[in-house]
Amino acid sequence: MKVTKWALSSALMGAVLGAGFASSAWAQAKEQFFPALPYRSGAYAPNGIPWANGYADYFKLINARDGGINGVKITTEECDTAYATDRGVECYERLKGKANGAIFQPLSTGITFALTEKVPADKNSLITAGLGRSESSDGGVFKWNFPLMGTYWSGADILMQHITKKEGGNLTGKKITLIYHDSPYGKEPIPLLQKRATLQGFELTLLPVTAPGIEQKATWLQVRQNKPDYVLLWGWGVMNSAALKEAVATGYPREKMFGVWWSAGEPDVKDLGDAAKGYSGLIATGEGGKILDDVKKFVHDKNQGTGPIEELNTSLYNRGLVSAALAVEAVRSAQQRFGKGKVMDGEQIRWGLENLNMDQKRLGALKLDTIMKPLSTSCFDHEGSRSARVHSWDGKKWNVVTDWIDADESIIKPMVRQYADKYASDKKLTRRTPADCQS
């Protein structure tokens, strides 16, 4: 497997990807290691690359503009997973020894499921921003998982709220079809949608698509036969554009199609142009604003950008940048308690993740106030915030068409508790105590 290394030292400047980073043993003074598990290869690379570039650029920005996190320089190393679970686990094992505890962000629900079993013993945290196990928002059971900024249950709920509003508040007798990637990722929203179908009286049809999702003719034949009122798309990579092409071929209106945030990026629609016009999906980040001005000034203008500058302010690039910011602020939060200017270990980083307080004032100071919503975590709430907007493709660009919509916790919280309790029972885990939350 190809592993790319980035170095911040001038001696290694211009290394792989021109990223300017080097891996570093955790014992090296004043360096905080952030492992990276992106995918720049394989079927999902067109979507994975802009996320990975945003992720890398933010770390570069913190080093170049701020001199690190309170003086602690960031080092990082990539290991390409190609979105494969076995390779993701291999990458994790390869990188975990480079720090005395670190944050891993796999950008894959399948890899997340596998690593959830490993990170407690290793004292590593998982940030699964907008992905992963939905019940892992319950920190009372999932001590090391942090599905920050919204789980798939939150995303599905927000989409259903939007559709319900379009139908005047009543979905009784309506037909809704979920076309989903046949993987842990694609299956995640199903319990929430089944719950809402029971509560709201709509008919739910589930249509799995085998990865990578290029061939969907049989799926869309069923759509043509069933004539659903709405189609929800839970795809990734080429599956999304393939679904839109089949919708065109079968005459299904794109105005009736809604995707989760991983199905509503520029790579999904840009080559289709007007053919995708009217298609809508979730977006959990805002406009880039001042933070991207700084990325341009301190990173790209210095010829240190990880990818093309044209990626800045695209949905997946912004998402990767925000994911890196969450990791950096977790370490900064930990330093507030355990010592500014010190390298944080795994337990300390986990505490920092459980005590994030990124309110509007703090986001403004970080120049992140236009690109993300305020977020606050606790020992028992590892999600922090659960809101998104809907944007719609006009043939040339995405346009935001709703205000921020918050997921309905009255529906989601009991489900989270139920599924987390089952996980704890299956794994013979004991719920955390308030005393443990102080550790």
Phi-psi map region of 16: left, alpha, beta (phi>0 left; psi -120 to 50 alpha): beta
pLDDT-derived band of residue 11, with 50, 70 and 90 as boundaries?
very low
- Is the pLDDT at 13 greater than 50? The verdict is no
CB atoms within 10 A of CB 84: 20
Per-residue pLDDT at 224: 97
Per-residue pLDDT at 439: 74
CA quadruple 126, 280, 263, 36: dihedral sign: negative
pLDDT-derived band of residue 437, with 50, 70 and 90 as boundaries?
confident
The ranges assigned to domains in the chain are 3-150+287-376+417-437, 153-283+388-407
Per-residue pLDDT at 434: 87
CB atoms within 10 A of CB 138: 27
**Residue of higher predicted confidence among 121 and 17:** 121
What gap in Å lies between CA 217 and CA 205, rounded to an integer? 17
Its pTM stands at: 0.92
pLDDT-derived band of residue 29, with 50, 70 and 90 as boundaries?
low
Nearest alpha carbon to residue 318 among 98, 115, 149 = 149
Amino acid identity, residue 425?
Answer: S
* Across 240-264, average pLDDT: 98
Query: Is domain 153-283+388-407 annotated with CATH 3.40.50.2300?
Result: yes
* Across 359-376, average pLDDT: 97
Per-residue pLDDT at 438: 81
- Is the pLDDT at 107 greater than 50? The verdict is yes
- Is the pLDDT at 20 greater than 80? The verdict is no
Residues 6+ apart with CB under 8 A from 37: 78, 79, 81, 88, 91, 92, 95, 104, 105, 106, 107, 108, 111
Per-residue pLDDT at 6: 42
**Residue of higher predicted confidence among 110 and 9:** 110
* Across 389-418, average pLDDT: 98
- Is the pLDDT at 345 greater than 60? The verdict is yes
What gap in Å lies between CA 116 and CA 172, rounded to an integer? 38
* Across 27-49, average pLDDT: 90
* Across 28-32, average pLDDT: 78
The two three-digit tokens of residue 113, written as one number: 């499921």
Across the chain, mean pLDDT equals 93
The two three-digit tokens of residue 68, written as one number: 């690190």
Say how many Å lie between the first and final Cα of the chain, rounded. 38
Per-residue pLDDT at 24: 42
pLDDT-derived band of residue 327, with 50, 70 and 90 as boundaries?
very high
pLDDT-derived band of residue 116, with 50, 70 and 90 as boundaries?
very high
> What pLDDT digit, counting tens, does each position of 188-231 carry?
999 999 999 999 999 999 999 999 999 999 999 999 999 999 99
Per-residue pLDDT at 118: 98
Per-residue pLDDT at 14: 36
Parallel, antiparallel, or unpaired: how do β-strands 257-259 and 280-283 relate? parallel
Same fold across 3-150+287-376+417-437 and 153-283+388-407 = yes
- Is the pLDDT at 35 greater than 80? The verdict is yes
Q: Which CATH number fits domain 3-150+287-376+417-437: 3.40.50.970, 3.40.50.2000, 3.40.50.2300, 3.30.110.30?
A: 3.40.50.2300
**8 A C-beta contact, residue 231 and residue 257:** yes
